[in-house]
Amino acid sequence: MESDDLKDSVVHGYEEEDLNLKLVGLVAGVLLAIVIIVALVIKPLFHYRKHEHHVSTPVARPQGSAFAVKEIFPEPRLLPTPRVELKVFREEESQWLSHYAWVDKKKGIAKVSIDDAIDLLAKRGLPTRAEGSQSP
């Protein structure tokens, strides 16, 4: 059976009761108290951290250099010119991937360019194990 409250709301087409303002006020008060307590606890921590061991050491770099930094910051440092440094990094990587070089000359281990490695792999195929051998 339906309750009387449900019957009344169906008859009128809306709820006749108002929102429980005491409960809303209580929840808002508790949230406000939590925010205030957290702020009071965190503020001294920020103040302590700001003044804790603040020592700057000058960097030995030429004046007017694009990479001149006035003091050493803790890791991780931001790059002063990220576009230039990314371009240099990509050029070095491209150089490494597209040229031959010795990895260990004494053992006869050399690296080949990536394009040649792809061609060799396409010609020779992937290495396979002999039948009957077990994986390690």
| Residue 136, pLDDT above cutoff 90 | no
Q: Please indicate, yes or no, if residue 69 is contained in any of the structural domains.
A: no
> Are the C-beta atoms of residues 111 and 101 closer than 8 Å to each other?
yes
Mind listing the pLDDT tens digit for each residue in 43-81? Answer: 888 877 776 655 555 545 555 555 555 566 677 778 888
- The pTM assigned to this predicted structure is 0.35
Q: Please indicate, yes or no, if residue 59 is contained in any of the structural domains.
A: no
Predicted confidence at residue 96, as pLDDT, reads 87
Residues 47 and 86 in one domain: no
Beta bridge partners of 109: 104
Q: Write b or e for each residue in 32-68: b if 16 or more Cβ atoms lie within 10 A of its Cβ, otherwise e.
A: eeeeeeeeeeeeeeeeeeeeeeeeeeeeeeeeeeeee
Q: Please indicate, yes or no, if residue 136 is contained in any of the structural domains.
A: no
pLDDT band at 18 (very low <50, low <70, confident <90, very high): confident
Which position has the higher pLDDT, 40 or 8?
40
Q: How many domains does the chain have?
A: 2
Range of the structural domain that residue 88 is part of: 82-124
Q: Please indicate, yes or no, if residue 67 is contained in any of the structural domains.
A: no
Predicted confidence at residue 53, as pLDDT, reads 56
Q: Please indicate, yes or no, if residue 60 is contained in any of the structural domains.
A: no
